[in-house]
Structure formats: C-alpha cells, structure tokens
Amino acid sequence: MLALFALVAVADAGDLSSAVLLANSLLSSGGRLASDVSDTAFVSTHNHRHRSRLMPNMHMVLPSKSKQTVAEIEAEADQLREEIAELRKEALRRLEELEEKLKATTTTATTTTTPSSTSMGEETISKTPADTSEEGLLPAPTPIVFTETKSKRKPGRGIANLLDETRWKVSLSIGREPGTWMPKEWGKSGKRLNISFIAEFTPSQLYEKEDFLRGGYTNAKILHVVDNEIKLGPSISEGERVYKVKDGGWQVNRGDGPMGTDLLRFYIEVEEKISHSDVDVYVPKGRVYSSCGYFPFLGDAGGAPSVKEAFTKELKRIEDQIDKLQKQKDEIKNPFNFEGIKISREIFKLNRSAEQVVDKLNFVAVKEPDKRLLKFSGCGDVGLTKEGGVCCQVNKGLTIEYHILGRFSIASDEDECFVDDEP
C-alpha cells in the first residue's frame, strides 16, 4: 500500500519513467502481498488503527476491542484481499495513464510541435508543416548514368588459358644458325626457307604424349593449323608451294625461360620433306618444334607500377642526388675542405647504390621485357616475344636430340576482342 502512495507521488512529480518502473515492480509483487496478508491477519489492534489512519477513504472496518473470533478474522482477511484487488486495479489504471504520457513525451521530443491547451494531464500534439523553402538545402546529387561498356578481356581468363581460342600468324625462317647440330652441308650456302601458316591455340586437351611438352600450368592442348597447310615462299627458280601438315600441340611451361620466365612451346607435324631444289636447306619430315617467351599481363591499366618502373625511378633519384652533390663540390675551391671530403664520400656511396640498382634493373628487364619487344594478343592480356627458336627431333639410339633449324616470328592474326563484362 505504501508502494502505491509512492507511485502516485512519483507520477505527480513528473518523473514518468521512474513511475513506470515502480508500477511494474508493484504488480510483480502483488501476489506475494496477498499471501502475506492471509498469514498475518491476526496483527495487533495498534497496527489496524495505524492502517486506518493512513487510508481513511478505503472503507476499512475498525477492529473490536473485544477478542476476535476465527470467523471475524477470516472475514477481515477477505476484506483485505478485496482491498488489495482494488489497489491492483487502481495501479493498473495509473500505469496505463503513465505509459500514455510517456509515449506522448517521446513523440513530442522527436517531432516539431506547437503548444496547445492541456487538460487532465493529456497533451494535444499538432505537427507544423515542414519548411518547403529551398534555402539551406544541399545541392541535388549528380545522377548516376549507367552505360554499356565493353571490356577487352574475355571473362574467366587466367594465366593458364590466355592463349585459348586465339589465332596467330607464324613465319618460320629456316637456315643455318650458330650452335646447330645439323649436318655441315645443311644451309652452308646461307640460303633460307620462308614458311608461314596460321595457328589456332585451342582449349582442347592433347592426349598424345610428347616429350617436348614437359609440363606447365595445365595439360597440353591441341594446336590447329588453319586448313592444315603451310606455305613455302618462292625461291629464285621456283614459286610458292603448299604443303599439308597435321595439327600439333602447345603448352605454357612455367619457369623454363631465362631468369625463370615462362616459355610457350608448340609444334606441328609435316607429312613430307620441305625444300626447294635450288637450295641446300630443308625441313625433315616429322614434327617441327618452336618456343618463345610468354608474358601474361593480367593487371588492370593504371594499377600499381611494375618492379621495373620502380627500379627505374630509384635510379633516376640517385642520379639526381649525385648531380646535386657534384655541383656543391665544384663550388668548393679548397679540395682539402672538410665539407668537400664529406660530399665526396656521399657521392661514392650513391655511385655504389646506383650500380646495385642497375644490376637489379638488368635482372628485372628479363622478367619484364620492354613491351616493344613483344607481340600481343588481340585482347592485349598476353605478350609473346617477337622471335623464337625452331628445331627438329633427332633420335640417336637411346638419346633424343633437338637440332636447331632456324628461328620464327609471330604476330596476332585477330582483331581486338571486345566482349561484354557480364557473362
């Protein structure tokens, strides 16, 4: 009962949140209060009089001075239970009123309101119309326009399949080269055979075993020669000739090139000896093997600088420092000046650093060759060295030798590829 008066006092003081918490605590302990009253119905006359003075309007019956019977005590206990039930109802009603006030207060804090008449603790909330003037507003955002774009790179391309479905024009220059193991009479005159064909690097797997393809990023694939023919250029006495060939194979070999670079290996198979009657150079029947440097370019344009570019900038920075120190040294007339000696020492250190950077740059130049030395695919995502080596296989007992036949050049035979970014 005292808790109820405390609840009313807190609510009248305007602390709505505390009143709600106190009311919830009163309701949760209501059942316990009823049981306590039943167990203590035989309280003293002094306590009943004290309760009567505290709650004069609750219609309580004053206890008799004479000794109470069991029936009277039970009747008084029932009356107390009824009074407690009434108190609970009153508490619930006040709790609902407090919750409504709390909601109204929250709404008032989050919306722009104008004061109006207040009656019986209830507030009438009216919203003011939003200011529709354009003053003080942020500028309208720039609209995003989506346009169809084309990408030069085919979707799903990786280092292992950059050559898939690409066409290249291959030109063989057959003749004697330094270090060849071909017979001494072969190509002694210095004449050469010019052979050309169009090669398609297919994604189809090659199941036939070939020792020349030593293993790479993926299994060997089929190299298709367009129309299965190659053209032998004319000589002084003979015109152009066409020879039938069989499809071959190709593979990218990882780390087989200089300084651990990648190599492209491929071959075709000729069905007869290729030559002119007026030259001492020929291509023997069988498989003709070729290899060249393979350099993928998967990074996006405008990305981070390459290692080669970083070393080049570092070398330029060192050279600029050396020039600056040299000018300072030239201004010192006394060669034994302490400052001059100090500058000379710094120049010596910078020259040593420059030599180290040059060595690194020479190493990286092999790993990242100048793009002018490469021939790129139509998509531009892979570059092949302009020239490569050509050889044939010669079996000598249990050993296999590869004899140099000449060199070749290669160039893309396809237009720039533009495909949708979306699959």
> In this predicted model, what pLDDT tens digit does every residue of 31-40 receive, in sequence order?
444 444 444 4
pLDDT tier for residue 217 given thresholds of 50, 70 and 90: low
pLDDT score of 7 more than 80: no
- Per-residue pLDDT, averaged over 213-218, amounts to 69
Partner residues linked to 412 by β-bridges: 168
Give whichever of 72-81, 164-173, 210-219 has the largest mean pLDDT: 164-173
CB 27, CB 95: distance < 8 Å: yes
| Choice between 230 and 45, residue whose per-residue pLDDT is larger | 230
- What pLDDT score does 364 carry? 66
Looking at residue 115, its pLDDT comes to 42
Average pLDDT over residues 280-295: 94
Instruction: Round to whole Å and give the CA distance between 343 and 326.
Output: 8
What percentage of the chain reaches a pLDDT higher than 70?
Answer: 64
How far is residue 396 from each of residues 108, 393, 400, measured CA to CA in Å? 100, 10, 6
Residue 124 has pLDDT above 50, yes or no: no
Confidence of residue 397 (pLDDT cuts 50, 70, 90): confident
Lowest mean pLDDT across 71-75, 324-328, 389-393: 71-75
Tens digits of residue pLDDT in 95-117? 888 878 777 766 655 554 444 43
* pLDDT computed for residue 64 by the predictor: 46
Q: What is the mean pLDDT of the chain?
A: 74
Per-residue pLDDT, 121: 40
- The predicted pLDDT at position 420 comes to 45
Question: For 348-375, what is the mean pLDDT?
Answer: 80
Q: What is the pLDDT of residue 216?
A: 59
- The reported pLDDT for the residue numbered 193 is 96
* pLDDT in the model for residue 356: 84
pLDDT at site 76: 82
12: pLDDT strictly greater than 70: no
Greater model confidence, 241 or 422 = 241
**What pLDDT is stored for residue 175 in this prediction?**
96
Q: What would the pLDDT profile of 232-257 be if each residue is shown by its tens digit?
A: 999 888 999 999 999 999 999 888 88
Judged against a pLDDT cut of 60, whether residue 401 lies above it is answered with: yes
- The reported pLDDT for the residue numbered 223 is 96
What is the structure's pLDDT at 119? 39
pLDDT, tens only, 288-325 = 999 999 988 865 444 445 667 777 888 889 999 999 98
pLDDT in tens, 139-175: 554 444 444 444 444 555 667 788 999 999 999 999 9
Model confidence band, residue 276 (pLDDT cutoffs 50, 70, 90): very high
